[in-house]
Amino acid sequence: MSQQPLENRLAGLKEESLPELPEAVHARMEDTYRMIIERNEVSLEETPEHQETLRRKRMPRWLTRLMISAASVAAGLVIIVSLGFISPAMAETLKQLPFMESVFRLVGDAGLQKANEAGLTTNVQQSVTQDGTTISVSEQMYDGSRLSLVLTRAQAADGQNTEAWWDLINRRGQPPGGINNIEFVVNGKTVNTGYGLAAGGAGAPESIIVTALDGANLQIPEQFDLTLLVLIDGMDQPFRFEFPVSKNTLGDLVLVPGEVKVHDHIHLRYTRLELSQTSTRLLTEIKGDPGGDTKAIEEAIPDKYKQDGLFTIWFELRDEQGQEAVMLGGSGTGDGDTLSSSSVFEPFEKRPESIIIKPYVWKDRHKLYIPELEVTVPVK
């Protein structure tokens, strides 16, 4: 949108009166202006499978991309607003401004962007201040395969943060101000889940996208009350957020292949394949020779499939045209005689006629495929 039409639209609404806004709103807008000014390119540090991300207990891959435009328009406007306190007409106009964009829309993966565009995300807008630091949860998305939400650190009380929040979190060690741990409590019960952190990018350096509840054996209801406990290094008490979560998705399709492939003492069963417009998730189980526990499974698997003595299996998903789904994260658990895994991917651009599942391991920084375990699942 060019500057003149936008200014004309705003001028047409100038007679509307705005109530006095809370201090938290002013602080949020100051953060926003600073983010626009400082929108330099983020330097990405790549590993074979992951990019500008941090995974606690497991490692995802996120594609982060700056999508802010028309910054000169935003910089020329002096408006302090919160969409929760203004008229619908003014809110709709201001939503066109780049600094009012959703973090999901700006830097989220393809599934989060689709969820935002389809109205499947929920505004939370909760802030907690502790020892001079304010952390907020702005939006969340739960599609049954994963929960994603946006955490943002407000500008420091003295008007300047010495280091962008993502840079602080991503530094080795546990510097004061970084995230030490996040605990997820569903309907009053703590959930044993890992979580992934993705950068807000140059457009939102004080924001991160947190993804969790995507484990292999988690039993999460479609609606629940979530308590989020965010522990910041250097602080004694966690930041506590409480809000309801409901499953929102489009075009759900659940496939239960049940097919078992056996090769080199690996008994791989494809238990579940979930497809929607926001996520694709694959659930698998590995057993060993009859009577063996998880330790026996790993000991029996040949060393050629191990890295530093450890066996970790990954999966590629491709459609019948060879288009590969982008992997977002994965987790695994061992219980009794079974190794269970969950792998979450971006949705395919369009629903495929069939999905080829290609197992592999990382060996000496390269993918080693195991074609004997590969399957093709028809999508019906």
pLDDT digits (tens, 9 = 90+) for 306-346: 988 889 999 999 999 999 999 998 888 887 889 999 999 99
Q: What is residue 231's three-state secondary structure?
A: strand
Residue 30 has a pLDDT of: 43
Q: What is residue 91's three-state secondary structure?
A: helix
Residue 359: name the closest of 368, 348, 347 by CA: 368
Q: Which residues of the chain have pLDDT under 70?
A: 1-101, 156-161
Beta bridge partners of residue 338, listed in sequence order = 335
Residue 53 has a pLDDT of: 52
Superfamily of domain 253-378: Conserved domain protein. (2.60.40.1640)
Angle ∠(329,334,338) on CA atoms, nearest 5? 110
Residue 10 has a pLDDT of: 39
Residue 159 has a pLDDT of: 58
Rounded Cα distance, 284 and 273, in Å: 9
Q: Cβ of 11: how many Cβ atoms within 10 Å?
A: 9
Rounded Cα distance, 51 and 45, in Å: 6
CB–CB of 134/27 below 8 Å?
A: yes
CB–CB of 69/2 below 8 Å?
A: no
CB–CB of 272/283 below 8 Å?
A: yes
CB–CB of 113/105 below 8 Å?
A: yes
What residues does each domain of the chain span? 3-246, 253-378
> Cβ-count burial of 254 within 10 angstroms (0-12 exposed, 13-18 middle, 19+ buried)?
exposed
Q: What is residue 170's three-state secondary structure?
A: helix
Residue 55 has a pLDDT of: 54
The two tokens of residue 329 are 């994260």
The two tokens of residue 252 are 């759900």
Q: pLDDT of 282-310, one tens digit each?
A: 999 998 777 778 888 889 999 999 988 88
Residue 122: name the closest of 226, 11, 254, 2 by CA: 226
Residue 365 CA to chain centroid, in angstroms?
Answer: 25
Q: Give exposure, 124-148, as e/b (b: 16+ Cβ within 10 Å).
A: beebeeeeebbbbbbbbbbbbbbbb
Rounded Cα distance, 167 and 178, in Å: 9
Rounded Cα distance, 60 and 247, in Å: 22
Rounded Cα distance, 325 and 22, in Å: 43
